[in-house]
A and B are shown apart, each in its own frame.
Chain A
Amino acid sequence: MVIILAGTLAGILTRILLLKLDYRQYPGYPHGYISHFSLGAIASALGAVAVPALMNKDFTAFTFLALAAQQFREIRNIERQTLENLEETRLEKRGKDYIEGIARTFEARNYLVMGTAFITSIAAMMAGIWGAVAMALILILFSKTFMTGKKIGDICEVIPGEVHFKNSLLCVNEVDIMSVGLPDIREKIKQEALGVMIKPKDDNARATLHDMGQRMAITHTAAQIMGSKKEVDIPEFTPLARKNPDTGEVALYIMPIEKDMASLIMAVQRTPLLESARVKPLKTQAGRIAAD
């Protein structure tokens, strides 16, 4: 009984710690928390129960784990569907890549919770309650450090950029963003817009920024944190991230409610790096040769 309890508790604790509201701003509502918390609890119970079952040479216990895996995959689908439905009414889209990333994270975290519960139960059985506590701490620490994804700030340098106009073309530093026709709106943008340059630190980062999904995630995060003046009938104020085709640097333009450069830079730096956007050309020989 102690074995199961120890495993389950460790699992639930992991889930709670991983369920904090971060820059993804999701889930931001109590029901989202409840459903993920309960699923985490079920996952950890399953993981913990598997150990005593196996000790009784009850190998069918593993089929239950497979069943659980099936359920978690379902969660991923549900998450994806919810987010895609919400997306339609959003002014600053998250983008499909970001949604996929979030859905995948939610699925993976349940496996993580199940694993934590499983291993902690084993520790409880072999080394008693203190062994279980120690093991749980190690695993939670592991989850916290290794399962928190990287951020844009880790691979890129974010520096202030200057928003200006080349006739009707809106530019941030040397990168063209879009054409703005109306002089009044141009004037307003000149007064109130903010721009930053996102400079990739190496070729891997450049390839990641090339991904449109990653750039959408950046504009989405910036707009969420800073607020955005965009409205349905003012598409000119849509935050946009455009690449300098020659250098691979990305220029971000936004009409924030709060005009504060420092916090915009922070918001961009803390944007999660999407797993689907991460590419590593430098890991291949051809990529390394091309880099120099």
Chain B
Amino acid sequence: MGEEAKQILAVITTDRNKVTGAVPIFIADNEEEKQKTALFLAKTLDAMVHDLENGIYFIVRH
């Protein structure tokens, strides 16, 4: 909410064709691994997991 900008810290996906660019991208083999990776990343980064509902999770610090 503050003045600092929101930022995508990482992207986790099972479909490597859907993401590209200058963010850390984590490829997961299945849904379960995706969730687990997302949870761990979010916990370490104190950030939040969001779902794009197309198989991509991304992590944002608010």
Contacts and interface: CB of A to CB of B under 8 A. Distances in A.
A125 interface: no
Q: Across the A-B interface, give the 9 residue pairs with the lowest CB-CB distance, nearest first.
A: A181-B49, A168-B51, A181-B51, A235-B48, A179-B50, A181-B50, A233-B43, A182-B49, A233-B46
Given A167-B53, A168-B53, A235-B62, A183 B46 contact: no
Main secondary structure of the interface of B (DSSP, over half): mixed
Interface in A149-195: 167-168, 179-185
Interface residues of B, number: 17
Given A181-B38, A182-B38, A232 B46 contact: yes
Given A179-B50, A181-B58, A182-B38, 20 more contacts: A93-B1, A167-B53, A168-B50, A168-B51, A179-B51, A180-B51, A181-B48, A181-B49, A181-B50, A182-B42, A182-B49, A184-B35, A184-B39, A232-B46, A233-B42, A233-B44, A233-B46, A235-B47, A235-B62, A236-B49
A52 B25 CA distance: 78
Contact of B57 (A93, A181, A216): A181
Nearest to A186: B51
Interface string A200-217: 000000000000000010
Contacts of A185: 49
Interface of B: 1, 35, 38-39, 42-44, 46-51, 53, 57-58, 62
Contacts of B39: 182, 184
Contacts of B57: 181
B46 A236 contact: no
Nearest to A240: B1
Nearest to B45: A233
7 contacts: A181-B50, A181-B57, A182-B49, A183-B35, A233-B43, A233-B44, A236-B49
Contacts of B44: 233
A83 to B, nearest CB: 16
A69 to B, nearest CB: 33
Contacts of A235: 46-48, 62
